[in-house]
Amino acid sequence: MTFKEQILEGIPKELPEKKPYPKNINSAPKRKDILSIEEKQLAIRNALRYFPKKWHAILANEFAQELKDYGRIYMYRFKPDYKFYARPIESYPANSLQAAAIMHMIQNNLDPAVAQHPEELITYGGNGSVFQNWAQYLITMQYLATMTNEQTLHMYSGHPMGLFPSSKNAPRVVVTNGMMIPNYSQPDDWEKFNALGVTQYGQMTAGSFMYIGPQGIVHGTTITVLNAFRRILTKGENPAGKIFLTAGLGGMSGAQPKAGNIAGCITVCAEINPKAAIKRHEQGWVDVLINDMDELVIRVKKAQAENEIVSIAFIGNVVDVWERFDKENIFIHLGSDQTSLHIPWTGGYYPVDVSFDDANKLIRENPKSFKEKVKESLIRHAASINNHTAKGTYFFDYGNAFLLEASRAGACVMAPNKIDFKYPSYVQDILGPMCFDYGFGPFRWVCISGKSEDLDKTDAIAANVLKSIMKTAPIEIKLQMIDNITWIENAKSNKMVVGSQARILYADAEGRIKIAQAFNNAIADGNIGPVVLGRDHHDVSGTDSPFRETSNIYDGSKFTADMAIHNVIGDSFRGATWVSIHNGGGVGWGEVINGGFGMVLDGSIEAEERLKNMLFYDVNNGISRRSWARNEEALFAIKREMARTPNLNVTLPNFVDNNTLENLF
């Protein structure tokens, strides 16, 4: 059968041969054995409903073994044999260009060059899933191949509920992931309900089909590292020869060494999983691989002495690096961490003094011991960071729940008031006041023709648009504009494409709309093929996350999620091609609500109307919320927007003098 025929078939008519599970791959860790006997039977019953009854006797035993071996039912027998990658748009069978674009994005998310654990349909973050199982993938692709522009596919945590009549103006797909009743969002709830096959953790861009590999975060990481150095260095001093120490080379964390190179420093990034470190080295995202601590010390001292710009992956535990650098008196200028601490007990963070293989064995055989060792490691980790910050290191939490989990473990990371952390989130110090409050965030696009020359053309278009905006931009956003023009002009030479022909660029509503309009005109003129627009959920208004995206909201509302919910609803009726809303991405299940979108540009007048309406709301919804929280930068941004957009009228806060509140209670 051809690729198109396989897509159109959906669940095969004949039971495919059972496949041996591949060995020597970067597999997802075995999940917790948490279900009772009755619940395991229910999990099998749930899985078998995708298949005809005549197969049930065979598949029941097979799925029961998968549940025993992996803690999940992945239905590996049904994984297609064709290659997974973002094919040119015309390669997909489709009645709708919009649906074909979504198929392109889904396959990119499952491309082995892009995905962290592709056999288990996990894109990044250790558990960020596109689907729960291969049956869901097959049915979803079949629906997308047959749907029209007057139907909408509704996705329940990876499960394709079905095609429903809608309209041309409605989204083609609506995605939810992990949307639990609030009292059922504890970590074990995810383990249980995911094992039952009724929900999943979509991370941020995995479950909404908008992941573009580590490039997706490299720009934000570059901005963060660059501005962190600006905070601590004297004017005119550059980061060359200065150390940025961090951990994690998996999915999103794999961006860190590339960002360090672009920012112009020495990046030392520890990664306990050799396969992850080697993959990033082979892809050119890190310069040097080292697995010996003595060698690392020598290499870092040499880089310091020669003011090098270099990224080094240390295959080992980051706690060892912090402690050894302390003993060697190697000064760390910037410190952070990007391990997957949203899942600390299932392989998101590995304890010191335990090998990678032994730790994975502990996860399976003695999870209680593993959990205790992780807590002990977090306490040591934080203690060593404290030693370095006492010497002048600037440490920031990179939104991976490091400080949250360290505090829960009993580490010394709390401020004197015992409420706040002693170290800031990078959103509090950098991205919030410098970017999000002004409306700048990670705008993305994907050239679904699959042509690299189309990406080159869009880079040039975006650069020209930004230069034009720069001429009249107010002083408050000049630095952001300069940084982004530099970024896009160097994007190709920094070799960031992994998988689809995609790009990311921090832009505000004006920049996003004008860039998108220019793309749509280029498509209409036949200069480039269709383009998908999107963004990271880690943005101005898509995400309510009290320890990351909304950590610089100080009016007491940072634990509310109205903004993210309004965002996904507002985008859906303003022209998004697909929308998504998730419980969990980034900092953990139950800790955040985040929403995303995708929009297909086809060169039409209708596409131009949709992009203007939707992109405007997608950004300004967040600026409005941030201005209501009395963030000065956001107040500037929303007042400026109201002055040039007559039909925008946002409620503004009145400020209260401190002396008014004194002696009231």
Binding site residue list: 125-126, 203, 271, 398, 586
Both tokens assigned to 665 = 């209670």
b or e along 351-387 (b: 16 or more beta carbons within 10 Å of the residue's beta carbon)? bbebebeebbebbeeebeebbebbbbbbbbbbbbbbe
The answer to whether residues 78 and 134 touch, using CB atoms and an 8 Å cutoff, is yes
Token pair 């299932």 is at which residue? 346
The answer to whether residues 479 and 611 touch, using CB atoms and an 8 Å cutoff, is no
* β 578-583/593-601 pair status: antiparallel
How far apart (Å, rounded) are the C-alpha atoms in residues 292 and 392? 27
Half-sphere exposure of 389 (CA within 13 A, CB side): 16
How far apart (Å, rounded) are the C-alpha atoms in residues 342 and 346? 10
Query: Reduced to 3 states, what is the DSSP secondary structure of residue 595?
Result: strand
Both tokens assigned to 579 = 């929308």
Q: What is the DSSP string of 500-541?
A: SSEEEEEE-HHHHHHHHHHHHHHHHTTSS--EEEEE-SSSSS
How far apart (Å, rounded) are the C-alpha atoms in residues 665 and 209? 51
- Name 153's bridge partners: 163, 173
The answer to whether residues 602 and 581 touch, using CB atoms and an 8 Å cutoff, is no
CA distances from 229 to 8, 113, 186, 302, 655 (A): 52, 32, 37, 21, 33
How far apart (Å, rounded) are the C-alpha atoms in residues 322 and 335? 9
CA distances from 37 to 34, 42, 63 (A): 10, 9, 14
How far apart (Å, rounded) are the C-alpha atoms in residues 336 and 265? 14
* β 593-601/173-177 pair status: unpaired
How far apart (Å, rounded) are the C-alpha atoms in residues 161 and 139? 10
- If residue 604 lies in a helix (H) or strand (E), which one and from where to where? none
Q: Which residues are annotated as a binding site for NAD(+)?
A: 125-126, 203, 271, 398, 586
Alpha helices (H) in 283-365, listed in sequence order: 293-305, 318-327, 356-365
The answer to whether residues 334 and 245 touch, using CB atoms and an 8 Å cutoff, is yes
Both tokens assigned to 538 = 């880690």
CA dihedral 89, 94, 99, 103 (to 10 degrees): -60
Identity at 647, one-letter amino acid code: N
